[in-house]
Amino acid sequence: MSPFSYFLHDLRMRHEIRQSELAELLGYEQSYISALEIGVKGPPTAEFVERVIEALALTPIEQIEIREVMAASQRKLVLDSDSSQDLYWMFKELREQMNVLHPAQIKMIRDVLGLTGSFADAQPEPIRRIKRRRKEEARM
């Protein structure tokens, strides 16, 4: 299930509101709310999220959370057309293995992605040219 599915269910529980009541407040069918919560549908549109924010008068922290889980629940990825070939191949391999990754592998990948800042800060070492010896130095 997506992060949004968990969040929406938890949000409803915290606000003590039923699916049917939330659906009525938002102007959606109860079946749609249910489908979001069990992960059959999703992620929702930005309009849906804004309606939830308004209808439940979410706190600023809850507003940030719901937008983050919506972003984390995206199922599709689009690469920029100017992305490197290595990036395309990496995503091909990831797609092929995604459903069989062990939780430890997922954690390792996420840990590596968290290293981005330290790599961005590091400057590559300049290429040093080897100085040629003068003929006089080479005879010794």
> Across all residues in the chain, what is the average pLDDT?
87
- Across the range 80-109, mean pLDDT stands at 92
Query: How far, in whole angstroms, is CA 30 from its chain's centroid?
Result: 27
Residue 127 belongs to some domain of the structure: no
- Across the range 98-109, mean pLDDT stands at 93
Q: How confident is the model at residue 137 (pLDDT cuts 50, 70, 90)?
A: low
What tokens does 133 get? 């010896």
Note if the pTM is more than 0.95: no
Residue 27 belongs to some domain of the structure: yes
CA proximity to 44, closest of 82, 5, 15:
5
Residue 134 belongs to some domain of the structure: no
Could you give the number of structural domains in the chain?
2
Residue 133 belongs to some domain of the structure: no
Provide the domain limits for residue 100: 85-121
Give the C-alpha separation, 109 to 103, whole Å. Answer: 10
Same domain, 66 and 89: no
Q: Assign residue 42 a region: left if phi > 0, alpha if psi is -120 to 50, beta otherwise?
A: left
Report pLDDT digits (tens) over 19-76: 999 999 999 999 999 999 998 987 899 999 999 999 999 999 999 999 999 999 988 8
Query: In the structure, how many helices (H) and strands (E) does the chain have?
Result: 9, 0
Same domain, 68 and 7: yes
